[in-house]
Amino acid sequence: MSETVNGFPEIDLEKERKEILNAFKGLMRTAKVKSKEDTKMIRKAFDVAVDAHKDMRRKSGEPYIYHPIAVARICSEEMGLGATSICCALLHDTVEDTHITLQDVEDLFGPKVRLIIDGLTKIPEVFDENVSIQAENFRKMILTISDDIRVALIKLADRLHNMRTLGSMKPDKQLKIASETNFLYAPLAHRLGLYSIKGELEDLALSYTDPDVYRNIESQLKTTKLVRDRFIRRFTNPIREALLHEGYIFEIKARTKSISSIHRKMVTKGVPFDEVYDIFAIRIIVETPVELEKPDAWRIYSIVTDFYQPSPDRLRDWISTPRANGYESLHTTVMSPTGKWVEVQIRSKRMDEIAEKGLAAHYKYKESNSEESKFDRWITEVRELMENSGGSAMDFVNDFKLNLFREEIYVFTPKGDLRVLPNGSTILDFAYDLHTDIGNKCIGAKVNNRLVPLSYALHSGDQLEIITSPKQKPVDDWLRMVTSARAKQKIKNSLNEQRKVVAQDGKDILERKLKQFNLKVVAENISVVERFFGYANATDMYFRIAKGKIDLNRIREIEEKNGLLIYEKKGPSFAQKELVENDPKAKFFEKSDTLIIGDNYKNIHYHISRCCNPLPGDEVFGFQTNNEAIKIHRNTCPNAIHLMSKNAARCVKAKWRKEDLTERIAAIKLYGIDSVGLVNKLTEIISNQHNVDMRFISFETNDGVFEGRIKVLVYDTEHLEQLMGKFEQVEGVQRVERWDMKDAE
């Protein structure tokens, strides 16, 4: 029976139905079903998908159902996944493209299948040129990885089949999909240990993004194939005979490098095709019990190197220290009799399956504790990246690629425990990998018994001892020093917490100022002040207030401009308060009892306390001493609680007169990693950049970590904070704080 369907002429529907059924039977032959229930579930998923997609066709004109069947077959045959994954692969487009809902999926197949299908379903298109839909979809899929890794595996199978059938798409679509594949999905396949799929994705992408380069390398591989095969036979013959003589059950394969990998090597090394020495690698796969895998691998290594001279610099022991994605193999590069370098990979059959199928093989070998921990560690990294993941989808994708796709380095704790970190990690990355508190308090480290700063880039084999200080805390510059997602997220969390604490201080300051001006502390007034000073949100404004960057006396201007503020029913207005402030006697003896520092009072003597050295801009109070003089203390003075609680009646409010710009002594402490010329840089800032008079400077160094003390003359807290901010920017300086000591003057 033939008819026209959706514009495609003369289609034999009966023949198609038979072909679809045959495709499904082919899938079932590859499926590793464990029970009749699994078979029934897969058949049920197939029936649902066939019915849901019955009126849909691909760009090539073939029935759409061929695509989910093909994706399911990749999951089964090339990844070794089980019944649940096959079921989800068959259903993966139903919710997105048909009348089937997620609730329907859950009702028919349960919550686990629903979770996976939800992770595979694209988010709706949005008409916003600033949003990358592909990035948003990728983020959604990654969010589900931490719940079930099969989401990523099925998505890779889906992308692989789309790339294999990309020829029917328009050229602009081909280029777009190929570029997305290179940017997102090939690196994901690599990170999950699916090396053959990663290579095929990259090759297919290259064939569309740079077809001339692809065809040229493909042609040269075909031209040199006979010569290459002959060389491989001669190279492997003595190894094969020796292994047979030793009684090993083994297989020797020759793996040709992918076209994209050859192209990458040609570009990075700047060499032509003929000079890429590792066009192929020899792989020796031995059948051996798990407990004999390591000794047998090294025994075979010994046999190989009996025939061919190894390069000491090219030995890679991924058996003793497997990669984070579970990859295990022993690699060596040896010199052939013809003067060519050849890479030899030695592994067990179990290792080879994990190398071919990556974390997809994790389920089969789950009883292996090392694999379990490595798999779970990666999932933990994913979860940590998900936590508080603000910003755009593209920011998320870039962080994800940088941190979870890059190669690893292997470093050791003082006790010899191995830690795996992304390549390019620093001291701070290592500290946060150990524990959040260690990271937050880190001031440096000893690497191989040599003191190094926080920004030191680690190398494989380094042994580290972290140096901490209870007074240390993260600063913004740390974000530029770290590589790992874990460290970056922990630093952001800490900075946000610090910002909240500072912002709370700013909120308290604003509320006191509103009350001083007889204004209600209500959301409406806060919003008016927020708009007046030009801030998008209250937190930013509070933070700037606490840092002394906003003159709250300007709130007076709001009344004059728009009169939007809400007053308390009782109390003096702005005008009345100005009368009080213009009368020194009144402002001291008014109910507020506020002493204005900088004005002269008859029979009233006051001076600045040496225990905390307050500066204009500090929140302060006065304390009447036994000789009737008043000492000015900072509210944060170590003695403040004692004075206010034991002698509250002798405490008076105080504030600085704005015009009072007398220079006063201030003391600063600095901590960090000692380096040549550090003191010169600091004194240069003091003398040249800020025109500040320095009264005292002292530096002490212990094991390369310094503590410095400086006393300077400044006008107010803003002046002091500017100076301290400059100090914080000096390389090696980790922390700058105000120094409150009785002998500071």
What does the alpha-carbon distance between residue 177 and residue 168 come to, in Å, rounded to a whole number?
A: 13
Q: Which CATH class is domain 664-738?
A: alpha beta
Instruction: Give the pLDDT of residue 146.
Output: 58
What does the alpha-carbon distance between residue 294 and residue 287 come to, in Å, rounded to a whole number?
A: 12
3-state secondary structure 121-165: CCCCCCCCCCCCHHHHHHHHHHHHHCCCCHHHHHHHHHHHHHHHC
Q: Burial-class residue 659 by CB neighbours within 10 Å (0-12, 13-18, 19+).
A: exposed
Angle between helices 171-180 and 195-209 (to 10 degrees): 140
Choose among 42, 67, 62: nearest CA to 159: 67
What is the DSSP annotation of 28-41? HHH----SHHHHHH
What does the alpha-carbon distance between residue 219 and residue 240 come to, in Å, rounded to a whole number?
A: 31
Structure tokens at 456: 């030191």
Domain 12-210 sits in CATH 3.30.70.120 = no
In the chain, residues under CATH classification 1.10.3210.10 are: 12-210
Instruction: Give the pLDDT of residue 308.
Output: 93
Cα three-residue angle 640-644-645, rounded to 5 degrees: 115
- The answer to whether the beta carbons of residues 310 and 333 sit under 8 Å apart is yes
Choose among 30, 55, 25, 59: nearest CA to 43: 25
Pairing label, strands 442-447, 418-422: unpaired
Instruction: Give the pLDDT of residue 131.
Output: 44
Residues pairing with 710 in the sheet: 668, 697
Give the residues of the chain that fall short of pLDDT 70: 1-11, 122-147, 324-325, 359-407, 559-594, 598-605, 626-628, 645-649, 657-662, 688-692, 703, 741-745
What stretches of 576-635 adopt beta strand conformation (E)?
Answer: 594-597, 606-608, 620-624, 630-634
In the chain, residues under CATH classification 3.30.460.10 are: 219-365
Pairing label, strands 693-702, 408-412: unpaired
What does the alpha-carbon distance between residue 302 and residue 323 come to, in Å, rounded to a whole number?
A: 23
CB burial string 49-72: b at 16+ within 10 A, e below: bbebbeeebeeeebbbbbbbbbbb
Instruction: Give the pLDDT of residue 374.
Output: 52
Cα three-residue angle 700-702-705, rounded to 5 degrees: 85
What does the alpha-carbon distance between residue 626 and residue 620 come to, in Å, rounded to a whole number?
A: 20
- The answer to whether the beta carbons of residues 520 and 689 sit under 8 Å apart is no
Model-level pTM greater than 0.85?
Answer: no
Give the gyration radius of the chain's Cα atoms. Answer: 35
Tell me the residue type at 382. V
- 175-192, pLDDT tens digit by residue? 888 888 887 788 888 877
Q: Which fold has domain 219-365?
A: Beta Polymerase; domain 2 (3.30.460)
- 350-379, pLDDT tens digit by residue? 888 888 777 666 544 443 444 444 555 655
Tell me the residue type at 736. V
Pairing label, strands 693-702, 651-656: unpaired
Which position has the token pair 């589900």?
144
Q: Give the residue numbers annotated as catalytic, written as ranges.
A: 96-97
